[in-house]
Amino acid sequence: MKTVDIKHIKAAKKYSEALFQTAFEAGKNEKVYDDIVFINETIETNEQLKNALLNPVVLNKDKKDIFQKLFGIHIDKITLDFIYLLIENGRLNCLNEIVNRYNQTNNKKNNIITPLIISAVELTEEQKQRINLKLEDKTGSRVLSEYLTEPDIIGGIIIKIDDKTIDCSIKTKFDNMKKQLTKGTNYGNN
């Protein structure tokens, strides 16, 4: 679920770690991830369902019945038991953050990075493949890139991996040249 309060982030991290560990030990980490993504997307796209599941007046038993009827035959027992635990502990509103954290843990465990590649124009499949191969070579990780087009950068690309940014955009190069020229002009006048 998309609305998560800062106070729920620690709880979401603990829940996602516990779920990942349980699923991993059972050899079902990919299935459980697919399940929680499916559940989260279903809830997020159905406002009436979301309101019913987050409504404190609706009994936990009724919420569990809703999950059993909607998802029971489609999801693994580990996932269903986990959702029941979230309902019992009043943490269903943390599901979106749990999904995000679970994905991060899964990627880390499987040595996968998910960089954001920003370009001024849409990249061809060949360009995307070349960038991914270079990133795999540099990082030693499997790369699953996301792409974004942002014409303001004029040309080149910006690569964001976690908290690191590699900015090879024309806009940044122009801005840096402008700073250098301005800096040089200021020194010449003194």
pLDDT tens track for 93-125: 999 999 999 999 999 988 999 999 999 999 999
pLDDT of amino acid 180: 87
Partners of residue 160 on adjacent β-strands? 116, 165
Averaged pLDDT for residues 3-9: 64
Per-residue pLDDT tens over the stretch 65-84: 999 999 989 999 999 999 99
Q: Is pLDDT above 90 for 59?
A: yes
Q: Which pair of tokens denotes residue 190?
A: 């003194």
pTM above 0.75, yes or no: no
How does strand 156-161 pair with strand 142-143? Answer: unpaired
Q: Which residues contact 151 (CB under 8 A, 6 or more apart)?
A: 120, 121
Question: What's the mean per-residue pLDDT of the chain?
Answer: 91
97: tokens are 């953050």
Give 2's pLDDT tier (boundaries 50, 70, 90).
very low
Label residue 9 by pLDDT band (50, 70, 90). confident
Task: Between 109 and 85, name the one with better pLDDT.
Answer: 85
Q: Encoding tokens for residue 118?
A: 């920003």
